Amino acid sequence: MAFSEFRPLDEKSLIDYIKAVPSLSSKLGNNLDGLKIKEVGDGNLNFVYIVVGPAGSLVIKQAIPYIRCIGESWPLTKERAYFEALALREHGRLSPEHVPQVYYFDRTMSLIGMRYLEPPHIILRKGLIAGIEYPLLAEHISEYMARTLYFTSLLYRSTTEHKCAVAEFCGNAELCRHTAQVVFSDPYKVSQYNHWTSPYLDRDAEAVREDNVLKIEVAELKSKFGERAQALIHGDLHTSSVMVTFESTQVIDPEFAFYGPMGFDVGAFLGNLILAFFAQDGHADQVNDRKTYKEWILRTIEETWNLFHKKFIALWDEHKDGSGEAYLPSIYNNPELQGLVQKKFMEDLFHDTLGFGAAKMIRRIVGVVNVEDFDSITDASKRADCERRALELAKFLLKERRKFQSITEVVSAIQNLHAI
Amino acid sequence: MAFSEFRPLDEKSLIDYIKAVPSLSSKLGNNLDGLKIKEVGDGNLNFVYIVVGPAGSLVIKQAIPYIRCIGESWPLTKERAYFEALALREHGRLSPEHVPQVYYFDRTMSLIGMRYLEPPHIILRKGLIAGIEYPLLAEHISEYMARTLYFTSLLYRSTTEHKCAVAEFCGNAELCRHTAQVVFSDPYKVSQYNHWTSPYLDRDAEAVREDNVLKIEVAELKSKFGERAQALIHGDLHTSSVMVTFESTQVIDPEFAFYGPMGFDVGAFLGNLILAFFAQDGHADQVNDRKTYKEWILRTIEETWNLFHKKFIALWDEHKDGSGEAYLPSIYNNPELQGLVQKKFMEDLFHDTLGFGAAKMIRRIVGVVNVEDFDSITDASKRADCERRALELAKFLLKERRKFQSITEVVSAIQNLHAI
């Protein structure tokens, strides 16, 4: 059974589909009796089926031509599945331990067959809400970010390779446009899709819309997002795009991937950890005051940046005599100059990270699609208090990001604001 | 006679070619008797034939797969003709009065048939060496730059249109790579192609190669050139890419066109005017001390930027409620904010302009391919004096560009350095 045109699958037609595709059925040991199929409606965009049989398992992810959590009123090309498969394969090649394997891709059907991340893998955001510490998270995610960002940049690649890859991912324009809208535009204007904890945050949302300094800074970040093809970024690296166990960290869902600024990925991850931090007071109860857990989150924020910095520089040093065309060894030819150049590069990347991270935080509090970290706090007044602190920190980071010299200073700013 | 594969034409085969192409022969009034054909070897890269008949005229430009002025040892794809034709048509659509019309393009032959810019049109650089004032130059070139850069940016276009156009011009990667090499790399290292007025500037060239601060700043500009798809830039907008009469200003030769930073074009033009200024003392003689002409050049530098600024902002204001996605009117919704945003944008563009302009100056003094402005000064010692002053100014501008607030300050810096 080959499908010559797109049609959305359901639990039943999915089995027929798998039967017809040897590279999928072989992952189930060619034994399709007694398959258990479960659609997991976590995501905002797609349909995801977990398929488990007696001799194997896999996941089938199918894109539909609109945003699932909003409906057909917000169309979004299903071609995103093509770019997701491309990015999974490219990032998987660069960081195989942290990206699930792609078994099969069907462009007509916008369908990816891939590894099932078996239990106890859960979405990181849910782990953060539950107060679970992941001792290897910073180590793993920094490894993933350093490798995927370094190796797809001009630090490692020639201009010719880079332009060719950039051109391919320009095809994912509609998804870029969506991100630009929800992150850099909607929160700063009246939009039917915006949502916040009302009436508590009404005045705060209004203040965002009226903050000229904030809007000027956001415009600069938006331009960088739209124009700067620095590396193949995941494009949506928040804590629901990461699945974890104590030993494993897996990055999923790169349908927003394109060549953009590195800081957008690093910032998305750190910004969502900061959101998780500010949500903890809403999850505290008499059994667990979350004090120790908040310290772990702050430590993880600090370690993630510091390890990313270390690994990124190590890759740069290792390959500095390679084919990358940004810094030719015949020009940057002494350790002192090499050190200065790297310091400047990482400072700029750090400030981008803080800016993009802050913008991602703001959009999760007063924009479309809020986060479960806060939404799961049932007491609206308490939730609003948590959100307001996070929002204040984000505004401060976004405006003053160039004054920060180290991640330790960021953690101090978080602690200071939290203590108020 | 259709050519199924590339072959370089000569004066004789050119006639047969034109005969076989109706859209070319019709431009000659279909009268090919007594054609005068002249190959004009001005350029560094291509073959250019002027074809004049009794009933019409045209220019045929053919790219060959290497750099003409260097030879087959430096290959350069002849596909550049495709991007030149694309850019001529796009820029011609946006600024028809300042871009010659394309009559015909043959991708297989890497051949463009276009309007012949009849006498008294000459290459601007030659006019500057001859000390000729062009009263409309600043008005015209600022018009060309403002329109081509504004309308191909996200200030005017949607993300989707922009990404699509960016992707197409990524195909011109080899030409981008060439520019990156000769502008941002070669002058800062020992390279067989570098050339300067030796022995006078030996120490100056060495100083460029040993200047850590300069090399760090150049790396930042190189990254911006390689990564930032801000607008469809000409890519080589020096004073030999402009043909002029007292009434007409025509921009030619955009084979290096791609989506890059706007400041690269504006800087190329202003930087080459500054080179022309510093060359004047070498052209002065007892008949003409060039004093008045130097003042005209400085005035033209100032007017070019100021008019560009004015026209660019006027286009932005005119189309601020259009489909451009960088600054949505619902966010940047009051005159004060609009003014602040424009001020910041133009400041950043000004600093880019100074940085790129300075880099273009440096490469013309100690890199590959020097400029006739200086080369035509026969006294080597005098030439070196002129070049050294230009080089010192360029280094200063490149390092300190962020401190300049207006073009008047730049002109003062030029005058100060010139007076030493």
Q: How confident is the model at residue A1 (pLDDT cuts 50, 70, 90)?
A: very low
Same domain, B178 and B198: yes
B52 and B138 co-located in one domain: no
Domain that holds residue B340: 122-419
Strand partners for A120: none
Identify the DSSP state of A110: T
Max Cα–Cα distance, chain B, nearest Å: 65
| pLDDT tens-digit readout, B147-194 | 999 999 999 999 999 999 999 999 999 999 999 999 999 999 999 989
DSSP designation for B100:
P
b/e burial code for range A351-384 (CB count within 10 A of at least 16 → b): bbbbbbbbbbbbbbbbbbebbbbbeebeeeebbb
Give B215's contacts in chain A (Cβ within 8 Å): 331-332, 337, 341
Please give the residue of chain B at the shortest CA–CA distance from A262.
Answer: B227
Give the rounded distance of the alpha carbon of A290 from its chain centre: 25
Chain A residues touching B189 at Cβ < 8 A: 328, 330-331, 333
Q: d(Cα A102, Cα A174) in Å, to the nearest integer?
A: 23
| pLDDT of A41 | 67
User: Which residue does chain A place closest to B217, by CA atoms?
Assistant: A341
Specify the pLDDT at position B42.
Answer: 64
The 3-state DSSP class for residue A251 equals strand
DSSP string, A54-78: TTEEEEEEE--SEETTTEEEEE--T
Closest to A5 in 3D by CA, of A75, A112, A110: A110
Q: Is the pLDDT of residue A44 over 90?
A: no
Interface predicted TM-score of the whole assembly (ipTM), two decimals: 0.95
Token pair listed for A253: 């869902």
Q: Please give the structure tokens belonging to residue A141.
A: 């995610």
Q: What is the pLDDT of residues A98-123, one digit of tens each?
A: 999 999 999 999 999 999 999 999 99
How many residues can be counted in chain B? 420
Contact A170 B170 (CB under 8 A): yes
Do B89 and B155 belong to one domain?
no
Same domain, yes or no: B75 and B171: no
Q: Is the pLDDT of residue A71 over 90?
A: no
Q: How far is B305 from chain A (nearest CA, A)?
A: 22
Is there a contact between A83 and A46 (Cβ–Cβ < 8 Å)? no
- Final residue of a structural domain among A79, A114, A149: A114
Instruction: Name the more confident of B334 and B169.
Output: B169
In a domain, A6, yes or no: no
Inform me whether the pLDDT recorded for B3 exceeds 80: no
| Cβ within 8 Å, pair B326-A166 | no
pLDDT in tens, A227-279: 999 999 999 999 999 999 999 999 999 999 999 999 999 999 999 999 999 99
Note the pLDDT of residue A70: 78
Please indicate whether, in this complex, the C-beta atoms of B173 and A189 are within 8 angstroms of each other: no
Q: Which of A92, A114, A136 corresponds to the end of one domain?
A: A114
Residue B46 forms part of a structural domain = yes
Q: Which two tokens stand for residue B121?
A: 């049109």
Q: DSSP secondary-structure letter at A401?
A: G
Q: Do B159 and A180 touch (CB under 8 A)?
A: yes
Q: pLDDT tens for residues B88-147?
A: 999 999 999 999 999 999 999 999 999 999 999 999 999 999 999 999 999 999 999 999
Angle between helices A335-366 and B212-227 (to 10 degrees): 40
- Which residues in chain A have Cβ-Cβ distances shorter than 8 Å to B222? 326
E strand intervals along B229-347: 231-233, 242-244, 249-251, 258-260
Q: Tell me if B6 is assigned to some domain.
A: no
Q: Judge if B327 and B216 occupy the same domain.
A: yes
Q: Is the per-residue pLDDT at B341 higher than 50?
A: yes
Q: Residue B166 is inside which H or E element, if any?
A: helix B159-170
Is the same domain home to B98 and B238?
A: no
Look at residue A185 in the predicted model and tell me its pLDDT.
97
Q: Which of B114, B139, B158 is the last residue of a domain?
A: B114
Token pair for B59: 């220019």
For residues A76-86, average pLDDT: 94
Residue-level pLDDT at B43: 62
Query: B279 near B286, Cβ under 8 Å?
Result: no
Rg (CA), chain A: 22
Question: Residue A171: its chain B contacts at CB < 8 A?
Answer: 163, 167
Q: What is the pLDDT of residue B1?
A: 47
- What are the structure tokens assigned to A417, written together? 């604001």
Task: Give the confidence band of B293 by pLDDT, cuts at 50, 70, 90.
Answer: very high
Q: Which residue has the higher pLDDT, A71 or A401?
A: A401
pLDDT digits (tens, 9 = 90+) for A313-359: 999 999 999 999 999 999 998 899 999 999 999 999 999 999 999 99
Q: Say which range, A41-45, A374-378, B339-343, B359-363, has the weakest mean pLDDT.
A: A41-45
Q: Which CB contacts under 8 angstroms, 24+ apart, belong to B286-290?
A: B288/B131, B290/B131
- For residue B1, tell me if it sits in a domain: no
Six token digits for residue B316: 């932005």
Contact A153, A166 (CB under 8 A): no
pLDDT at A123: 96
CA distance B46 to B76: 11
The percentage of chain B sitting over the pLDDT mark of 70, rounded to a whole number, equals 98
Is residue B327 in some structural domain? yes
B163 to A154: CB separation less than 8 angstroms, yes or no: no
What pLDDT shows up at residue A165?
A: 98
What is the Cα–Cα distance from B355 to B220, expressed in whole angstroms? 10
Number of structural domains in chain A = 2
Residue B5: inside a domain, yes or no? no
> pLDDT of A374-414, one tens digit each?
999 999 999 999 999 999 999 999 999 999 999 999 999 99
Tell me how far apart the alpha carbons of residues B82 and B399 are, in angstroms, rounded to a whole number.
36
Q: Which residues pair with residue A104 across a beta bridge?
A: A113
Q: How many CB pairs below 8 Å do chains A and B form together?
A: 127
Confidence band for A66, pLDDT divided at 50, 70 and 90: confident
Statement to judge: residues A110 and A214 lie in one domain:
no
Verify that A89 and A150 share a domain, yes or no.
no
Please state the length of chain A: 420
Cis ω before A329 (30° cut-off from 0):
no
Peptide linkage before A199 cis (omega within 30 of 0): yes
* Claim to verify: residue A315 and residue A166 sit in the same structural domain: yes
**With an 8 Å Cβ cutoff, are A177 and B159 in contact?**
yes
What is residue B5's DSSP assignment?
S
A289 and A209 in a common domain: yes
Instruction: Tell me which of A68 and B411 has the higher pLDDT.
Output: B411
Q: H-helix or E-strand containing A395?
A: helix A380-400
Q: Is residue A2 part of a domain?
A: no
**Residue B73: inside a domain:** yes
Percent of chain A residues past pLDDT 70, beyond the cut: 98
B85: domain CATH number is 3.30.200.20
Q: What single-letter amino acid sits at B175?
A: L
**Interval A15-21 mean pLDDT:** 95
Model confidence band, residue A72 (pLDDT cutoffs 50, 70, 90): confident
Provide the pLDDT confidence category of residue A39 given band limits of 50, 70 and 90. Answer: very high
Q: pLDDT averaged over chain B?
A: 95
**Strand ordering across the sheet containing A102-106:** A36-39, A47-53, A56-62, A111-114, A102-106
Shared-domain flag, residues B30 and B175: no
In the predicted structure, residue B364 carries a pLDDT above the cut 70 = yes
Same domain, yes or no: B230 and B101: no
CA distance linking residue B393 with residue B346, whole number of Å: 22
pLDDT for residue B370? 85
Alpha carbon of B237: minimum distance to chain A alpha carbons (Å)? 21
CATH of the domain at B394: 3.90.1200.10
Q: Which one of A159, A212, A337 has the shortest CB-CB distance to B212?
A: A337
